[in-house]
Copies of this chain bind each other. A is one copy, B any other.
């Protein structure tokens, strides 16, 4: 057995002396290998509940990262793998470059172009004996014993039950992100498609093409044809606006050419309770609305109260039949974060201090959409969120910024980068192992500097808002920016 496996398998499993499947070297090409004993499928004695034991003082400390989004992946990329073994636990084995996701829905970009495998972001995860990626969800954290409990994601495709296992950590980073908000509106999960993962974009593309083809069938009633080809987007933040823009580009170019028979039936409607792109400057917002309208997107103010299989109902009881419904009204805390018994910041996020630590929980950090500064830090509760706007649903439950993917990513990415440096410094000073970092110099706290927002609106046009929000005081202490070496001036010429 290779040394690679030695430190992850429990002694009971290590005792197994059955050979691996050997590469046949017999002189006859067709052998009946299946009669040998190691093909038997009698119930194995292997424990169904294994895991990674705590590291020993002479081993590298183990950093466990929950999640593989912007924050987690930036952290993983920058961690010094000579200091730490990294274990990433996430139901997704790649990072999604979310701002480009809308472009993949209509074929402007290939799906593969917007996803980067974790093993390529940090090669040590594929090759180092103590570093791993696990396709799993974290179900609970045992902070006292420094252990996370996980459950495999089997994708519904296996003859397998989900398998439970636990991982001992020296440092834990929670970067598990947020969840799409539905505001409790009936039918959203069943009938609408979000736009947060590659499979969402695939489903949108598939449904769009399917509807185009179905509407071309002879004898389809006019009403039905209109319904099938009515694309409704709920939520006027950057995601909703970008997707609407891509869709109208697609209609202008591809549909007119390739689906000429039905080109006059396809339409895009963008529903927003308030104003689109509310975090942007007034003039930019107005320009965006004008451009979208010009390219055929209908902008409608409305509040959704119910979603059915083929129509949505607005608060004034208007029925809006649709063939494709994309939901992008922002994010809220995930069930996992809700369940965590730690102090929360406003909005239900995991409360963190200025060094991104979860106070009162040793060796635990939180970054990205799942984390928010505690009031005691004196920092804005939601560092990334320049303004708050009511959601398309009109409900008043959102301390979360609605839809502003753009801004969220800036914060997530910079928090990831900051925390990697922070942990590298601690590790280098000998504080990498559990309960061992008390006397290490903390360095400067995290400071967020807003660099501006951008949203594409189709037809090779985009808005760029470079205002420095008044919510964010000039940077001090540790500075972090997208163009790290750029001068203040350069930044604003972006």
**Inside 8 A of A302's CB, which chain B residues have their CB?**
32, 34
Asked whether A486 is an interface residue with its Cβ less than 8 Å from the other chain, the reply is no
**Inside 8 A of A110's CB, which chain B residues have their CB?**
110, 112
**Inside 8 A of A33's CB, which chain B residues have their CB?**
269, 298, 300
Asked whether A224 is an interface residue with its Cβ less than 8 Å from the other chain, the reply is yes
Asked whether A220 is an interface residue with its Cβ less than 8 Å from the other chain, the reply is yes
Interface string of A153-170 (1 = CB under 8 A from B): 011011110010101000
Set B44, B47, B217: member contacting A134, Cβ < 8 A: B217
Give Cα A259–Cα B133 distance, bound, in whole angstroms. Answer: 10
Instruction: Please provide the chain A residues from 27 to 52 with a CB less than 8 Å away from any CB of chain B in the complex.
Output: 29-35, 38-41, 44-52
**Inside 8 A of A119's CB, which chain B residues have their CB?**
258
Instruction: Please provide the chain A residues from 1 to 59 with a CB less than 8 Å away from any CB of chain B in the complex.
Output: 2, 4-5, 8-10, 13, 16, 18, 20-21, 23-24, 29-35, 38-41, 44-52
- Asked, given contacts A213-B135, A301-B32, whether A41 binds B223 with beta carbons under 8 Å apart, the answer is yes
A63-71, A311-319, A359-367, A423-431: which lies at the interface: A311-319
Give Cα A21–Cα B266 distance, bound, in whole angstroms. Answer: 8
Asked whether A74 is an interface residue with its Cβ less than 8 Å from the other chain, the reply is no
Give Cα A163–Cα B52 distance, bound, in whole angstroms. Answer: 55
Assess whether A223 is in contact with B46, with CB atoms less than 8 Å apart: yes
Question: Which one of A129, A154, A267 has the greatest number of beta carbons of chain B within 10 Å?
Answer: A267
Specify the chain B residue showing the minimal Cβ separation from A2. B264
**Inside 8 A of A165's CB, which chain B residues have their CB?**
217-219
Instruction: Please provide the chain A residues from 122 to 155 with a CB less than 8 Å away from any CB of chain B in the complex.
Output: 126-127, 129, 132-136, 152, 154-155
Set B29, B46, B258: member contacting A220, Cβ < 8 A: B46
Set B24, B47, B269: member contacting A298, Cβ < 8 A: B24
Assess whether A219 is in contact with B2, with CB atoms less than 8 Å apart: no
Set B31, B44, B265: member contacting A224, Cβ < 8 A: B44
- Asked, given contacts A16-B222, A300-B31, whether A40 binds B319 with beta carbons under 8 Å apart, the answer is yes
**In the complex, what's the smallest C-beta–C-beta distance from A311 to chain B, in angstroms?**
6
Assess whether A217 is in contact with B319, with CB atoms less than 8 Å apart: no
Specify the chain B residue showing the minimal Cβ separation from A272. B30
**Inside 8 A of A284's CB, which chain B residues have their CB?**
none
Assess whether B314 is in contact with A34, with CB atoms less than 8 Å apart: yes
Q: Which 9 A-B pairs have the closest CB atoms?
A: A50-B219, A46-B221, A159-B309, A135-B213, A34-B318, A44-B221, A21-B267, A44-B223, A30-B301
A interface residue numbers (CB < 8 A to B): 2, 4-5, 8-10, 13, 16, 18, 20-21, 23-24, 29-35, 38-41, 44-52, 93, 110, 112, 117, 119, 126-127, 129, 132-136, 152, 154-155, 157-160, 163, 165, 167, 206-207, 209-210, 213-214, 216-224, 226-227, 230, 257-261, 264-265, 267, 269, 289-290, 293, 296, 298-302, 309-311, 314, 318-321
Listed A/B pairs (17) with beta-carbon separation below 8 Å: A21-B298, A23-B267, A30-B301, A31-B299, A33-B300, A44-B223, A46-B223, A48-B221, A52-B218, A126-B258, A126-B259, A127-B260, A129-B261, A154-B214, A155-B210, A157-B207, A158-B210
